[in-house]
A and B are shown apart, each in its own frame.
Chain A
Amino acid sequence: MTLSAIDTGIIIASLEWLFVGYFLFLHGSHTFLAAVSVNSLRLRMESVAVKMLPRLSAGYEIPVSIIVPVSEPTQELAPFVQSLFGLDYPEFEVIVVIDTEDSENLSQLQTAFELVMFPEAYWRQVRARTVHSVYRSPRLPALRVLDKKPGGPGDAINAGINAARYPIVCIAHADSVLKRDSLRRLVPYFLEDASTIGAGTAEHVANGSFIVNGFLERCRLSGNPLVWMQATASLRRDLCSRYGWAVPNAMLTISDRFCAFRKEAVVQVGGCLRSAVNPILELVARLHRANTVIDRRYRIAFLPAPVLWRHMPSTPAAVCRGMASEHSGLSDALKVNRDLFWGRNSGLVGRLAFPFTKLTEVAGPLIELLAWTFFVAGFALDLVSGQHLVVFAVCAAGLGVLVSWLAILIDAFVFRTYQSAGSYALLLISAIFENAGFRQLITFCALPGLRPRAADHAGMRKQRPVERRPTD
């Protein structure tokens, strides 16, 4: 055997161990995270009798400002805003922030709510572009619409924060679907623990569900297999990753569709980063960073119960775009907050959750793609044995299916998001295809996210939020 043959053999064997090791680590970690969270699931199971009784927390609720940032033309904006006023919560206001050049969104709201221009002066607590005008509705006094100079989703949220009057701000996207009690179930985290500064929720798939007056009445799966696979991936991400990290307060990813923050905490860190690809993800990472640096006790909670749904893309191209957008948002959030990694007092979030998320969710698609390419090409070139290819496939896809089944069964037994057993059967079947095919294909979509962002963002990236000490 020549030296080069030995070298090649060592390199091939090392790569085999590396890639197999990655997948064992990935699926093992997700299983471990699910095990961490499963104990607290018991507390989340609310009995029928408890629902029949008045809420014990009644009278202690905190008023909430719901901010609806609109950064692109949205046909469903008016019905969504109307539906927010049906939320079962004692005191809240709705602030719609129109952050687009065209007047379609505004005219839609003007027609629906008979908006009138209102000479409201505006208090700038965090940086945001100029608000041209404020509108109010004679019909709904708790509704305000801000029409502002476009500045991106983060800028729109900041404008909403400036206009918010209540101590809790809730960000709700117009493409999300809620339940009447969504807000009531999210806000108690702030009541139960004074150190709670943020709370996010699990995100479910709305395609195919019965939606009445903007609220989800019955969750059902649509007939599109692409949607089933996204539903499976979504359950896995929420129940085997986010919730597991949230238990020790190390959750870095959160759904930007419906989440709540303590306004004071957001203002203290300067609001959303206006140049961020996904301002909510970036904000969560920055809240961790800002609070760990000064060693302040804080908590970012996660509600695993189904209170939020969204219409998932139903064509391959749209799925790909969505994946690329999610990936670049997370990648950007972690890059901007890289000081969190092993930073001072960064604890579990900086020492474990940050590198884990970076490895499995940011670099993960690239690693998975390299791994599959290596094993398949290696087998074709006779560098990797058939046995090792099978072992790798079992490890990468087989264990992945098991973890996805775990998430689906936890949801079926604890939350019953879908009422029919048939929906769960479909999800269990689609988990096989999601792990053996779909997941590998969509890794291609995530790759553009690894590249530097487009030039038009470059200038804006120089802007950084002003980090102020809490005493400022």
Chain B
Amino acid sequence: MFGALSSDPLSHTVLWASVIIAIIIITIVIWTALLRLQGKVIGVHEVRFLYRWRPLLLETIDAVPAHLPRVKKPDWFVFLALWNQFHDSVKGPAQHRLKAVALRLRMDSAARSLLTTRDMENRLVAVMTLGHLGDQDSWNILEAIARGRTPILSMAALRALFLIDASRAMAILLSSLGARSDWPTAQLKTILAEVNPSTVSEGLIQAAKIAIPSELPRLIALMDSADEAVVKPYLLRVIDTSQDEEILIACLKSRHVPKDLQVLTPFMKSPSWQVRTQIARVLGNNISPGQEHLLITLLSDEVWWVRYRAAQSLAALPFFSQDELWRLRFLLSDQFAQDILDQVVAETRLK
């Protein structure tokens, strides 16, 4: 039969092509079966490892155990994930004891080694560990990761750098900020909130002075973590001189900008609706009884968002009841103002 097949070119081609495809398929199947087997064996071992180490780390919170078993290379990831979980759940001396345990087990070099792997989770746990250990030797590689493109890794590495040396990390943050639109400002603020305000204040001011306008709003947002005494004069100067709506909005959002009416009311006539929207929000938190007319004026703004924020601010005023809001709705002659109050009243009732 094979003779007949090999003499016919079509059959011959199909036969050999099929054999090659079948060999590839069998190889893939064996490979995946081995992966499965390996995964199963590793899984059982890792669960045993966790049950062994959880009580030991729990004990470390009170005192470093006299005897600590060696952590072998295949267990580094699970150990470090568990160790980081414990480190994040405790404070003060317990953290120092956990750090002592990790250093005794040479987990600093283990983490440095995991950093060189391709696996994202391995690298993430390594970055977190090195940050918690304050590992100066890893500075360069952490800096490279922080400047890398993977959002989650770069944020984690930046946090680690701040935990190691906040002043040097600040320089890296400021030099990269313009190019890193993928770094969420809220997460950057969280990182800076863990740092001494005096460490970040001067750097932010200097960076803001030479920054291009598009970078300034973010820097102003980060100034929330800085010393008020240092940044307030700068912010007041910016709010007085800048015409850029993004910069003005950032200033109005800043907790270091005083919210008195003298500063705020000129912006109610800003040509930018985004600025007027922000003013509507800020006024809501800062006006006193008798000054509601400022917000009521904004209810007739030509832009929906300004009207909406003004209505929300009115509804949230502690001295302006729901009944008064409802009465106001019928007193207003402007249809847009009535509509927006309808929506906000409905929202308030939902809550």
Report which A residues bind B (CB closer than 8 A).
Answer: 13, 16-17, 20, 24, 27-28, 31-32, 34-35, 38, 41-43, 45, 47-50, 52-54, 56-57, 60, 116, 118-121, 136, 138, 141, 188, 191-195, 387-388, 391, 394-395, 398-399, 402-403, 405-406, 409-410, 413-414
Contacts and interface: CB of A to CB of B under 8 A. Distances in A.
Given A45-B35, A48-B43, A53 B85 contact: yes
Contact of A391 (B11, B149, B346, B347): B11
A41 B35 contact: yes
Interface of B: 4-5, 8, 10-11, 13-14, 17-18, 21-22, 24-25, 28-29, 31-33, 35-36, 39, 42-44, 46-47, 49-50, 78, 81-82, 84-85, 119-121, 124-125, 128, 149-152, 155-156, 182, 187, 304, 308, 339, 342-343, 346-347, 350-351
A192 B81 contact: no
A47 B152 contact: no
Contact of A406 (B29, B44, B151): B29
Contacts of A57: 124, 152
B152 A192 contact: yes
Q: Which of A116, A191, A391 has the most CB of B within 10 A?
A: A391
B78 A53 contact: yes
Rank and list the top 6 A-B pairs by shortest CB-CB distance, nearest first: A49-B46, A119-B343, A413-B36, A194-B182, A413-B32, A48-B43
A399 B81 contact: no
27 contacts: A24-B17, A31-B25, A31-B28, A32-B24, A34-B25, A35-B24, A38-B28, A38-B31, A48-B44, A48-B46, A49-B46, A53-B78, A54-B85, A116-B350, A118-B343, A120-B343, A136-B350, A387-B5, A388-B8, A388-B11, A395-B14, A403-B25, A406-B28, A410-B28, A410-B29, A414-B32, A414-B35
Contact of A49 (B78, B85, B120): B78
B351 to A, nearest CB: 8
B46 A47 contact: yes
Q: Which of A52, A56, A141 has the most CB of B within 10 A?
A: A56
B10 A17 contact: yes
B121 to A, nearest CB: 6
B124 A413 contact: no
Contacts of A52: 47, 50
Contact of B32 (A17, A38, A195, A388): A38
A34 B28 CA distance: 8
A42 B36 CA distance: 9
Contact of B10 (A191, A391, A413): A391
A84 to B, nearest CB: 20
A394 B342 CA distance: 71
A395 B36 contact: no
Contacts of B10: 13, 16-17, 20, 388, 391
Given A56-B121, A395-B18, A409 B343 contact: no
Nearest to A120: B343
B85 to A, nearest CB: 5
Contacts of A32: 24
Nearest to B350: A138
A49 to B, nearest CB: 3
B35 to A, nearest CB: 6
B32 A409 contact: yes
B33 A413 contact: yes
B182 A405 contact: no
A24 B149 contact: no
Given A35-B24, A53-B81, A191 B151 contact: yes
Given A54-B81, A391-B14, A410-B32, 17 more contacts: A20-B10, A20-B14, A24-B13, A38-B28, A49-B50, A53-B50, A53-B81, A60-B151, A116-B346, A119-B343, A193-B149, A193-B150, A388-B10, A394-B14, A409-B33, A413-B36, A414-B35
A56 B46 contact: no
Contacts of A48: 43-44, 46-47
Nearest to A167: B184
A52 B53 CA distance: 13
Given A48-B47, A138-B350, A31 B24 contact: yes
Contacts of A387: 4-5, 8, 11
Contact of A121 (B11, B343, B350): B343
B185 to A, nearest CB: 13
Contacts of A43: 119
